[in-house]
Amino acid sequence: MDRDVLLIVNPSAGSGRAARLLPAVEAAMRERGLRFRVERTRSVEHAQELARGGGDAGEVVAAMGGDGLTGAVAGELCHGEGVLAVLPGGRGNDFARKLGIGADPVAAVELIASGRELRVDVAEVGGSRYLGILSAGVDSVVNALANSTRLKLGPPVYLYATIRVAATWKAVRWELEIDGERHDFAGYSIAVANSGVFGGGMYMAPDAQLDDGLLDVVWIEDIPRWRYLRGLPRVFKGTHLQQPGIHLRQACEVSFRADRPFTAYADGDPIADLPVTVRVEPGALRVLAP
């Protein structure tokens, strides 16, 4: 590795996990002879500003935090000369999981020194980009609850929140367009996947590829509540798609709206209010992977 490294850290990620592991990450970088500087983020906007500067300077930009930080940094490196390195320091770490990096940011330092560079797709909505899954409906309420709870549950917080929200859920009327083809239905949610993984290991679109130039769209109709809840554990293995009322299609562009207001979430954070249009940007991001 002959490029300098900008290490962007979210100190609060993973309930302080990133901050606790930072000294060990810095030591691992020194052991490998990497030239680096460290910046601690104050906000998403600050992280984006840092990423732009690092990309323009030709640095490898390493994101140490959760999926929200990784997505924010990645969005600023698209279509440029910047290269992303992922050091998983958050709660879900789903993009790192998809890349096969694992959960240890100290071990992931090795990828900065010797990892291979890949070009992967990103998804764009309203001028913002994301790496994982954008979803709305029941998932909007679940994300809001998971982000606000004070319970220290780790990744299972999303499963806990889903069970709570689904217990009183009322079906939504959806208007969905997949590459111009209309689908109207009543149901729980719509998810537009790039990586296919979210919520701390939920494989909503298990076969989604990061380099196929396509989005994977999953929508869940108004199936009985007991069936929806019983199927939740299957999402962690990706076998939920075998159930009646759950559909998957691939597309380059997806638009949808609902009969009541929702905020769409992506990479664990709010990204846009409905209605939304999502497009794929093939091969827009350079990233280091095993």
CATH of domain 130-281: 2.60.200.40
- Sequence length of the chain is 290
Instruction: List Cα–Cα distances, 18 to 40, 46, 109, 219, in angstroms.
Output: 10, 17, 14, 34
Pairing verdict, β 215-221 and 246-251: antiparallel
Residue at 276: amino acid letter: V
**Distance (Å, whole) CA 201 – CA 197:** 6
**Distance (Å, whole) CA 130 – CA 132:** 6
Whole-model pTM above 0.75?
yes
DSSP-based three-state secondary structure for 284: strand
Residue-range domain boundaries for the chain: 5-114, 130-281
Instruction: List Cα–Cα distances, 174 to 52, 66, 269, 289, in angstroms.
Output: 37, 30, 22, 37
Q: Each residue of 109-165: pLDDT tens digit?
A: 999 999 999 999 999 999 999 999 999 999 999 888 877 776 665 657 777 888 888
Residue at 158: amino acid letter: Y
Please report the pLDDT score of residue 16 as a whole number.
81
Q: Each residue of 2-38: pLDDT tens digit?
A: 779 999 999 888 778 888 999 999 999 999 999 999 9
5-114: CATH class: alpha beta
Query: Dmax of the chain from CA atoms?
Result: 57
Please report the pLDDT score of residue 35 as a whole number.
94
Instruction: List Cα–Cα distances, 91 to 13, 36, 59, 263, in angstroms.
Output: 7, 25, 26, 21
**Distance (Å, whole) CA 72 – CA 128:** 9
